[in-house]
Structure 1
Amino acid sequence: MEPSAHPQPAPGARHRARDLGIVIGRAATGPFNAITDVPGVRVGHTTVRRQPDVHSGVTAVVPDTVGPRTPLPAGVFTGNGYGKLIGTTQLTELGTLETPVLLTSTLSAFRVADALVGWMLRRPGCEEVQSLNPVVGECNDGLLSDIRARPVHEEHVRAALDEASGGPVAEGCVGAGTGTVAPGFKAGIDTASRTPDVGDRRFTAGVLVQANFGGTLRVLDRIVTPRSTGIDADGPTLAEETGSCMIVVATDAPLDARQLTRVARRAVFALARTGAAYSHGSGDYAVAFGTRPGAGAPVADAEPGPLFEAVLDGVEEAVLNSLLAATTTTGFNGRTVPALPADRLLTALAAPAPPRAR
């Protein structure tokens, strides 16, 4: 998978991978190349910035029909459990999702979960609900944001939920990705989708990634570092105790909870393609849910190979998109994390590959 011929982008311009001719995988994308290509899935962001010290926010992935009376089949996989994925135990036990999935900053996760419960209890059909399992994931954005300020409040959560929409998804330094960092570069929130054929049926699988992990970036199996792209390599890097990556997968394939857990595993496995280190302090999680559990015959266990591949490719592309969409950010204590320059990335990919060590 090589980048196709493409005019060099203007320095500093932000792009998605496909804008640069970087195509990952074989399956076609949905119309927006986003998790919102899955019917009935919406995304909303609230970005919280107070210059210079706060760069945070919340992102909501909202399935239209989800609720405690109408749960959706779901699975979760933990690559490394150094994180605060609220709602994990019940989701694992019952294999069902009762609420939207929200993403935020580590120390704001508990406040976000409380706000999500309040929002849900006011929804039609929840008047008599006495038990609810909010699902909220987090990444540590403390390198660029004053994380102890816990800047995400109830009104931010409600805005992300109420304003969630289909169609194109805002990318990069927005919502829960406002302060995140991934292998040496400014990262953020991003998304991708694929439409694989599974047997004689075609389904859509969409992913959304909150990228915030350590390691050495790989693009099309080439190592890309700040130094290799001509950026000062002496700036701050993500310490292993402040990592994490949250992945949300949605699909309209009729999968049960066990099968969706298999899908979630592939989403976490895909991070290895991008150079993730899965370090001690990195909480690496994926939540996968189905939007149409009763739509046609269930997918047989021997059939979902193309769906697995679609999720692997989608996560790899979403991580790269998050780096390409983000912008250089100066934040807490004057720390600056550079964006990945698209023009220099293409130059690095076009250079001859160094010989492999023997």
Structure 2
Amino acid sequence: MRAQDPNSPPPTARDRARAVGLAVGELPTGPHNALTDVPGVRVGHTTLSRPPRVHSGVTAIVPDGVGPGSPLPAGMFAGNGYGKLIGATQIAELGALETPVLLTSTLSAFRVADALVGWILERPGNAAVRSVNPVVGECNDGLLSDIRSRPVLEEHVRAALDTASYGPVAEGCVGGGTGLTALGFKAGIGTSSRRVPLAGREDTLGVLVQANFGGTLRVRGRTVTPADVGLPPAGPAPETGSCMVVAATDAPLDARQLTRLAHRAVYALARVGAGYGHGSGDYGLAFGTRPLGTPAGPAVIRDDDLDPLFTAVLDAVEEAVLNALLTATTTTGPGGHTRHRLPAAPLLALLQGDGAREGEQPGS
């Protein structure tokens, strides 16, 4: 059954990192501090929760107008390739995204990809389409869910796609993050955004993480274990994991530059203590919302001007992971395995105590 941490109410948006005083970096966020702050990007979830056996689901990232006949520039990077990023080789080869991006559980990824193909073929204007490259990422939720049951069905995929919306994005134990763990805590979906000054203009970058990786949490340079915040030890984790990081931007970047952005999205996980273990698939996928081959519009940003965007993705990914940990719900799965959410109050007390001992404020 699901249980809450002692003396801790269910998480809400007020538990996000920025809301509790753990903002990352100097750049401002978009209005929702979410991937959907990038114009033309929607997010939807289908959450499957049948405690204690099933904690799973699917998350859909849906760029407006994307399709086989209207691809978007994209790049990807596998920091450690122990995973299933369906569609990765075509993105690497052509630098093009032609479907929404779906995130789910490892053994459900193939059914999800098939459902996505069916959904794409039914879209207006696709009657003559004979080849589709579905893009589906996954994380292993087998510690807290019956992964072998493969509970994600076509109807769940279609629901996530059809209900994808702009605005605030649900985080924590939702969609493809429902049964995930990271850094010794309950984790899941997290998101963040930044407004970025680029060569005399301002663009938006947003990220969404599906967090399920090993290592030891670091917050503002301080190692944080469950015991440090008053929780029982997490116990050994299976040598499975992964993290999918999806970044989007309306900045005019080409596929090569988006690949560079995807690299930084994976590098950013080191800031929060990622272990990049043998069994962890650590993937970054970045796409632009300006269609390929558009004759009008601004010129591609010069490489020399990309540093603010690189800073933005590092900061946004770090904050998105913290959001995933802080907004999750303590969950017990099959076999009695439990992972606790990261509680904000004890974490802040820990960081403030460190600051007092060092004669400085946290993050100064």
Give the structure-2-normalised TM-score: 0.93
Q: Which residue of 2 aligns with 1:313?
A: 315
Contact 1:46 1:175 in 2 (8 A): yes
Deviations 1:139-171 (A, max 9, x none): 000000000000000000000000000000011
Contact 2:10 2:329 in 1 (8 A): no
Q: How does 1:1-358 map to 2 (within 5 A)?
A: 11-12=8-9, 14=11, 15-233=15-233, 235-239=234-238, 241-293=239-291, 294=294, 295-352=297-354
Task: Output the amino acid matched with 2:245.
Answer: I
Residues 49 and 311 (structure 1 numbering): CA distance in 2 closer, same or farther, change over 3 Å? same
What is the distance in 1 between the residues matched to 2:221 and 2:9?
24
Deviations 1:259-309 (A, max 9, x none): 000000000000000000000000000110000254312100111100000
Task: Output the amino acid matched with 1:145.
Answer: S
The SS at the match of 2:227 is coil
Contact 2:174 2:188 in 1 (8 A): yes
What is the distance in 1 between the residues matched to 2:157 and 2:337?
27
Answer with 331-340 or 242-251: which moved more: 331-340
The SS at the match of 1:138 is strand
The SS at the match of 1:268 is helix
The SS at the match of 1:195 is strand
What is the distance in 1 between the residues matched to 2:33 and 2:272?
19
Task: Output the amino acid matched with 1:325.
Answer: T
Residues 48 and 13 (structure 1 numbering): CA distance in 2 closer, same or farther, change over 3 Å? closer
Task: Output the amino acid matched with 1:62.
Answer: V
Contact 1:75 1:258 in 2 (8 A): yes
Task: Output the amino acid matched with 1:252.
Answer: D
The SS at the match of 2:304 is coil
The SS at the match of 2:141 is coil
Q: Give the Å deviation of 1:199.
A: 1.4
The SS at the match of 1:76 is strand
Contact 1:216 1:224 in 2 (8 A): yes
What is the distance in 2 between the residues matched to 1:285 and 1:12?
33
Contact 2:56 2:145 in 1 (8 A): yes
What is the distance in 1 between the residues matched to 2:156 and 2:149?
15
The SS at the match of 1:313 is helix
The SS at the match of 1:42 is strand
Q: Tell me the C-alpha RMSD between the 2 structures.
A: 1.2
Q: Give the Å deviation of 1:352.
A: 2.2
What is the distance in 2 between the residues matched to 1:199 and 1:172?
35
Deviations 1:236-265 (A, max 9, x none): 3432x2110001000000100000000000
What is the distance in 2 between the residues matched to 1:309 and 1:203?
13
Q: Give the Å deviation of 1:86.
A: 0.2
What is the distance in 2 between the residues matched to 1:11 and 1:94?
48
What is the distance in 2 between the residues matched to 1:339 and 1:203?
33
Q: Give the Å deviation of 1:11.
A: 3.6
What is the distance in 1 between the residues matched to 2:347 and 2:115?
40
The SS at the match of 1:292 is coil
Uncovered stretches (5+) of structure 2, i.e. residues with no partner: 1-6, 359-364
The SS at the match of 1:314 is helix
What is the distance in 1 between the residues matched to 2:52 and 2:352?
37
Give the structure-1-normalised TM-score: 0.94
The SS at the match of 2:237 is coil
What is the distance in 1 between the residues matched to 2:224 and 2:145?
25
Uncovered stretches (5+) of structure 1, i.e. residues with no partner: 1-9
Tell me the number of residue pairs that the alignment of Structure 1 and Structure 2 aligns.
344
Answer with 330-339 or 270-279: which moved more: 330-339
What is the distance in 1 between the residues matched to 2:171 and 2:63?
19
The SS at the match of 1:228 is helix
Q: Which residue of 2 aligns with 1:3?
A: none
Residues 159 and 237 (structure 1 numbering): CA distance in 2 closer, same or farther, change over 3 Å? farther
Contact 1:184 1:214 in 2 (8 A): yes
What is the distance in 2 between the residues matched to 1:314 and 1:120?
30
Q: Give the Å deviation of 1:13.
A: 5.1
What is the distance in 1 between the residues matched to 2:308 and 2:125?
37
The SS at the match of 1:351 is helix
What is the distance in 2 between the residues matched to 1:76 and 1:60?
18
The SS at the match of 1:165 is coil
What is the distance in 2 between the residues matched to 1:20 and 1:250?
26
What is the distance in 2 between the residues matched to 1:199 and 1:76?
24
